[in-house]
Chain A
């Protein structure tokens, strides 16, 4: 039961994380390979501030602000290069963030990580608090969903799609494409920070090893698998990725193969994902339902 709660909370947090990346990748067409850094900034800022005695809710708000500001600071120089190079710039940025967390021991305790991150006052610590945290994560995910739906269903979202499809056309019609992209990245970073702070206060222990490229790839997978450029896609994708990731643990693997449990689980998990992508190349919720040729 507690395990089920845990999986559901994880799925909700990943939904928020995936939705934040989708804003950049799906709507603005920006391949941000360093998105985990903003998740990490949210987690670290929130954890450090609550350790310093700041109330958790205030620490969370500061974490969002920190992620957003960092997003702007990264976006303005990184967007001067285009396409693939933007991806590389963000990738490098995430690695820089991880190395800072690893080496600035006076602040982050380095590889030891930060244990004992408190939960919000109204949620009990440990297992007793899990139902309440599930509610919290659920409300947070719903709030994020509503916020993003408003953004993407608006003229702002429409302009992002115009820019994604044809930058020159967008410019010819007076859209300041740099400004739109910066806004998309700031909004995406704030929400990634939101996911990070939700995660840190839930899991109560963070370390630099939690914020590697693997996490970015995982959340990228949620977005692409679910359907980029749609509101439900990243949610469905995150649930599928977390669900299948956990489900393979329960596969009946014959005792003779016990040595190979982990690789077998990995192979099957990967196989499921590959099949989904082959059957649904535009994601489980495709952006364009109608064929267009």
Chain B
């Protein structure tokens, strides 16, 4: 579904991502791990068009997306989250979700005045859809609360809701469980499993290794901008290069 071919990105002399190639099929949940600064987030930015590729190409289904702007990639159904939560604090939770829906007729000026009934109908449908997603996330009681008043963990869940609103075929999550409490993590994991059952592919950056082992069928490991491993989480734990790059270095630090 997602195929990355020999992708390279440098910032000045720093090789942030160097010659990375990988392919994700319909495996369900795929993990991307690696020490800090190994290029994981940069790779996400490259996939979603926020950074421009220096070399290589990226394919999403049949489409080459390596040179597309972010909004066009998003419309193909490849939706991402950001490492830090980005709520629209002054909008209500439900409006945060509704605003994320793609292809709204009411976002065009002429139909607002020429087809008001259609705009209203769409708006009602989006409202219903958003309520359904909030129910799934257990956030329905907070629907009319301002997003800025939610806890960090709730905001993370809300962001997942926003992604679902966009009708994703594949979701890129940058550290979805960082900084949220165990109860909400369980809730999140539950939701991710549910999405997989619906056939939505998930690609996530995660530092919580036990969680990666539990959640992911497949894992990629990056170090210093290069892909050093591809396999199951179990194999990753036994792979010497991974231990050296990731776990090994952590042991030294400890």
Interface of A toward B, CB cutoff 8 Å = 150-151, 154-156, 158-159, 161-162, 165-166, 168-177, 180, 183, 187, 287-288, 290, 292-293
Is the CB of B154 closer than 8 A to any CB of chain A?
A: no
Which residues of B49-70 have CB atoms within 8 Å of chain A's CB atoms?
Answer: 49-50, 69-70
Give 3 closest A-B pairs by Cβ, nearest first.
Answer: A155-B106, A171-B70, A174-B74
The answer to whether A292 and B71 touch across the interface, beta carbons within 8 angstroms, is no
The answer to whether A156 and B70 touch across the interface, beta carbons within 8 angstroms, is no
Is the CB of B11 closer than 8 A to any CB of chain A?
A: no
> How close is B169's CB to chain A, nearest CB, in angstroms?
13
Complex Cα distance, B107 from A161, in Å, reads: 12
Partner pick for A169 among B88, B98, B103, CB 8 A cutoff:
B88
Partner pick for A156 among B80, B112, B166, CB 8 A cutoff:
B112
Complex Cα distance, B89 from A151, in Å, reads: 22
> How close is A204's CB to chain B, nearest CB, in angstroms?
33
The answer to whether A173 and B74 touch across the interface, beta carbons within 8 angstroms, is yes
The answer to whether A155 and B119 touch across the interface, beta carbons within 8 angstroms, is yes
The answer to whether A151 and B109 touch across the interface, beta carbons within 8 angstroms, is yes
Complex Cα distance, B69 from A170, in Å, reads: 12
The answer to whether B79 and A173 touch across the interface, beta carbons within 8 angstroms, is yes
Complex Cα distance, B165 from A175, in Å, reads: 14
The answer to whether A172 and B70 touch across the interface, beta carbons within 8 angstroms, is yes
Complex Cα distance, B149 from A165, in Å, reads: 16
Known: A176-B71, A177-B71, A292-B90. A158 touches B95 (CB 8 A): yes
Which residues of B sit under 8 angstroms from A290, Cβ to Cβ? 146
> How close is A285's CB to chain B, nearest CB, in angstroms?
15
Is the CB of B234 closer than 8 A to any CB of chain A?
A: no
Quick one: closest A residue to B98, CB to CB?
A: A158
Known: A155-B106, A171-B50, A292-B148. A287 touches B90 (CB 8 A): yes
Q: A154-B107, A159-B104 are in contact. List 19 more A-B contacts (CB 8 A).
A: A151-B109, A155-B99, A155-B105, A155-B107, A158-B98, A165-B88, A165-B90, A169-B82, A169-B88, A171-B74, A172-B70, A172-B79, A172-B80, A173-B74, A173-B102, A174-B75, A174-B166, A292-B89, A292-B148
Is the CB of B123 closer than 8 A to any CB of chain A?
A: yes
> How close is B231's CB to chain A, nearest CB, in angstroms?
30
Complex Cα distance, B104 from A234, in Å, reads: 28
Known: A166-B86, A177-B71. A156 touches B79 (CB 8 A): no
The answer to whether A288 and B86 touch across the interface, beta carbons within 8 angstroms, is no
Known: A158-B95, A171-B50, A174-B102. A151 touches B112 (CB 8 A): yes
> How close is B51's CB to chain A, nearest CB, in angstroms?
12
Is the CB of B254 closer than 8 A to any CB of chain A?
A: no
Quick one: closest A residue to B80, CB to CB?
A: A172
> How close is A163's CB to chain B, nearest CB, in angstroms?
10
Complex Cα distance, B162 from A187, in Å, reads: 29
Complex Cα distance, B48 from A112, in Å, reads: 56
Which residues of B sit under 8 angstroms from A287, Cβ to Cβ? 90
Complex Cα distance, B89 from A174, in Å, reads: 20
Is the CB of B91 closer than 8 A to any CB of chain A?
A: yes
The answer to whether B112 and A172 touch across the interface, beta carbons within 8 angstroms, is no
A-B contact pairs, 27 of them (CB 8 A): A151-B109, A154-B107, A154-B112, A155-B104, A155-B119, A158-B91, A158-B98, A158-B99, A159-B107, A166-B88, A168-B86, A171-B49, A171-B69, A171-B71, A172-B79, A172-B80, A173-B71, A173-B79, A173-B166, A176-B69, A177-B71, A183-B109, A288-B90, A290-B146, A292-B89, A292-B148, A293-B148
